[in-house]
Each structure stands twice: as structure tokens, then as C-alpha cells.
Amino acid sequence: MTTVSGLWSFVLVVGLLTITPGMDTALILRTAAVGAPRRAWGVVIGIQSGTLAWGLLTSAGVTALLTASHLAYETLRWAGACYLIWMGLSMLWAARHRPAIPPTDEPVIADDSFFPGWRRGALTNLLNPKMGAFYVALLPQFIPAGAPTFASGALLTCVHIALGTAWSAVLLVLAHRLRKVLQRPTARQALDRVTGTVITGFGIRLATSNH
């Protein structure tokens, strides 16, 4: 198994990456802020389900084949880019066409279903081949020579998932405390614009990136 020093080094690396604001952060905050806690947890669990899949596939050596295959990598890259751009533009479209003032004084609450959130989080993660390339580059550095590759990789993946879930919980608590402000129509429009722009930007970046 991985050594204690190697484990702490891994925790430091993925911990810093986890708290760095990005697409996942924007998606989680946006979903929670509009009054959909179950859906937001669905997004969190979906993202971590994708992380688990990438980690286990990498530990089994499957993602190395993906990154080595130009056709497979390009197919997944374009599928992911199209999905992200579609999702981001949908949010921008919704922000543009949502009334700034609702017909009543009640805040606008989103559909609070778990599965749609899980599906969105999982697809966002699984359709990103950069995650596979990231794990192929990262995991071997923290697995000691002679250690069981799959077991060590699975352990490190679970550590990554635990850190990601803990940070997501912090984000959800923050969004919950600010929910009265963030559920206002004008604030929701701003959230959709920011999140849509971030996700569309990631999609364009994925589409224009090299292998």
C-alpha cells in the first residue's frame, strides 16, 4: 500500500486542487444557492462518482489506453466539450429570459430532485478526458514500487473523494447561509450568468485543447 509520507503528499496536492475555484465549485454553488439542497448533493455525489470511476479505471490501467488512443480520446473530448458548452449556454439563455421580478414576492426555487443533479455532476466529470489524463499522470507518482497498484490507487481515489466531498459540504453550508439573498431573481440571474460563462469557457477550452 501507499506509504504515510506519500499519502500526505497526495492529500496536499489534491487538497489544493480541490479548493481551487473551478467548474465543479461554480456548479455546486449555483445549484445550492437557488434553493435545491438535494439536487446540489446530487451534483456533489455525481461528481465524486465520476472521480471514483476515473480512479478505479486508472488503477486498473484502462485510462492509460484511453490517453494512448487518439480516436477514443478525441471522441470523449468532443462529447464532453459539446455537453459543457450546451449546459453553459442553457444557463446563459435562462438568465437572459428569466424575469428579473417574479409575479409574487416569493423567492424562485429550483426543482429539488436528487437524480437530475447526480446525472449532471456525473456527466460533467465522466465526459472530461482530462480527468483520466490527470489520474494517469498523478496516481503512479504516489504508489510505492512493489505495492499493489489497484489497491493503492483505489485508496488514493477514496482520499480524493473524501476531500472533495468535505469541501463541497463547506460550499453547501455557505450557500445555505446566503440562500435568502441568492434566491432572489436578480441574484439567480447573476449566478446563471457566472456559472454559464464558467462552464461554457471550460467547454471551449476542452474543445480547443491539444491531447
pLDDT of residue 98: 60
What one-character-per-residue DSSP string does 63-99 give? Answer: HHHHHH-HHHHHHHHHHHHHHHHHHHHHHHHHHHHS-
> What does the block give as the cell for 145?
514500487
Cell 439563455 sits on residue: 93
> Is the Cα torsion angle 128, 43, 60, 5 positive or negative in sign?
positive
User: How would you write the pLDDT of the chain (211 residues) with one tens digit per residue?
Assistant: 556 777 888 899 899 888 888 888 888 988 887 777 899 999 999 999 999 999 999 988 888 777 778 888 888 888 988 988 998 898 888 777 665 544 444 444 556 789 999 999 999 999 988 888 888 888 888 887 778 889 999 999 999 999 999 999 999 998 888 877 766 777 777 878 888 888 888 889 888 876 5
Picking from 19, 37, 199, the residue whose alpha carbon sits closest to that of residue 109 is: 37
Could you give the count of Cα atoms lying within 13 Å of 85 in the half-sphere of its Cβ?
12
- Its pTM stands at 0.81
